């Protein structure tokens, strides 16, 4: 099974790489992640000054990571003089430097980092929403490097298609979509306080909970700018998720939060599972997924009513309890009142034994 993909001339043996963040914060961490067989490595975001990070700074549950970290806690000199030269010698996969944030930061950093990396990822998290300002950043980067660079879009950008078109027009090679969501907050009820955060009690949220948003933004950009490279990120936690992002329009994917939730060896597990998962869904390669058209059926406004497979129904009453239209009653077996049923589909996806069908 051919797992390889290509992003702007960079050949990746497989489409999975780490996203920028704490797991790729220095040479040892990056090499540890590389040892899991990822297709490329990405650094923690390097800026012109080191970040001061509040502690504790990371909260996680099964569905999300909430993070008060900023960019790299190391000054740029440590990356330029120590980490990246060593990484250039040791890495067997493409190196992508995450860099932030302003035009002035780019003028200072890009020329100094250029010789050590194969491509750049540019974070726009703290430069506002003005596309004219971001366009100047894009132009500055292109002036200072001939290498590929990908503008990372934050979900607070109101016009993601406009952002992508602006980036392409001014010399960017592609888009990374999306950055973490926020600001967000986590409260400890017993202590009556914000659990972690900056001075305003705010954090950024990432992980599986943001995947639906990430998929929609990836697909929206791909449909509007089809010849633009997209690296999908935001909620990847399985081989199936990788395939979903590729179907949505990504050429490669990144993962970080799920590896912090489930363990760093998740990279290796996903790459190992990818061939059989592709085969299960009828794909012959990663490129086969990328080349596949995502089907969007014509929208119907007429209801389809659920069909109950009585042999499967176990009478658990989940469908009855969750039905928003009070259209299902369960007396040993589920029964649908089509006069009340709106055809919303919730009962089908919530049935634990797949006893309801006909909606999707």
Looking at residue 155, its pLDDT comes to 80
Distances 172 to 97, 110, 123, 125 between C-alpha atoms, Å? 15, 14, 13, 17
The model's pTM is: 0.96
**Domain limits of the chain?**
5-291, 307-357
Looking at residue 254, its pLDDT comes to 98
What contacts 72, CB < 8 A, 6 or more positions away?
25, 43, 44, 45, 46, 47, 50, 51, 79
Residues of the chain with pLDDT under 70: none
Listed residue (72, 5, 86) closest to 40, CA to CA: 5
Looking at residue 84, its pLDDT comes to 98
Q: Are 96 and 17 in contact (CB under 8 A)?
A: yes
Share of the chain above pLDDT 90, in %: 98
pLDDT tens figures, 95-125: 999 999 999 999 999 999 999 999 999 999 8
Looking at residue 125, its pLDDT comes to 87
Looking at residue 156, its pLDDT comes to 83
The reply to whether CATH 1.20.1560.10 applies to domain 307-357 is: no
So what's the architecture of 5-291 in CATH? Alpha-Beta Barrel (3.20)
């Amino acid at each position: 099974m051919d797992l390889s993909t290509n992003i702007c001339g960079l050949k990746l043996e497989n489409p999975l790489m780490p996203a920028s963040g704490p797991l790729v914060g220095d040479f040892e961490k990056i090499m540890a992640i590389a040892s899991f067989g990822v297709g490329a490595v990405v650094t923690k975001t390097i800026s012109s000054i080191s970040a001061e990070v509040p502690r504790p700074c990371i909260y996680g549950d099964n569905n999300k990571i909430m993070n008060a970290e900023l960019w790299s806690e190391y000054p740029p000199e440590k990356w330029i003089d120590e980490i990246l030269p060593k990484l250039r010698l040791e890495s067997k996969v493409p190196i992508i430097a995450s860099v932030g944030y302003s035009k002035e930061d780019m003028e200072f950093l890009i020329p100094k980092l250029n010789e050590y990396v194969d491509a750049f990822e540019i974070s726009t998290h703290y430069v506002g929403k003005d596309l004219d300002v971001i366009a100047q950043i894009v132009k500055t980067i292109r002036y200072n490097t001939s290498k590929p660079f990908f503008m990372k879009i934050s979900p607070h950008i109101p016009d993601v298609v406009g952002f992508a078109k602006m980036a392409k027009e001014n010399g960017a090679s592609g888009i990374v979509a999306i950055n973490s969501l926020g600001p967000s907050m986590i409260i400890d009820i017993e202590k009556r306080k914000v659990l972690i955060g900056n001075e305003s009690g705010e954090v950024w949220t990432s992980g599986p909970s943001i995947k639906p948003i990430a998929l929609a933004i990836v697909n929206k950009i791909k449909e509007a700018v089809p010849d633009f490279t997209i690296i999908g990120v935001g909620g990847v936690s399985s081989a199936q998720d990788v395939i979903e992002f590729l179907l949505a329009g990504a050429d490669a994917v990144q993962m970080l939060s799920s590896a912090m939730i489930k363990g760093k060896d998740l990279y290796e597990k996903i790459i190992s599972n990818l061939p059989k998962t592709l085969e299960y869904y009828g794909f012959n390669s990663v490129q086969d997924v990328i080349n596949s058209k995502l089907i969007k059926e014509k929208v119907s406004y007429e209801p389809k009513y659920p069909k109950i497979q009585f042999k499967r129904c176990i009478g658990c009453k989940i469908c009855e309890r969750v039905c928003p239209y009070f259209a299902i009653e369960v007396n040993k077996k589920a029964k649908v009142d089509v006069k009340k049923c709106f055809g919303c589909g919730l009962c089908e996806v919530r049935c634990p034994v797949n006893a309801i069908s006909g909606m999707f």
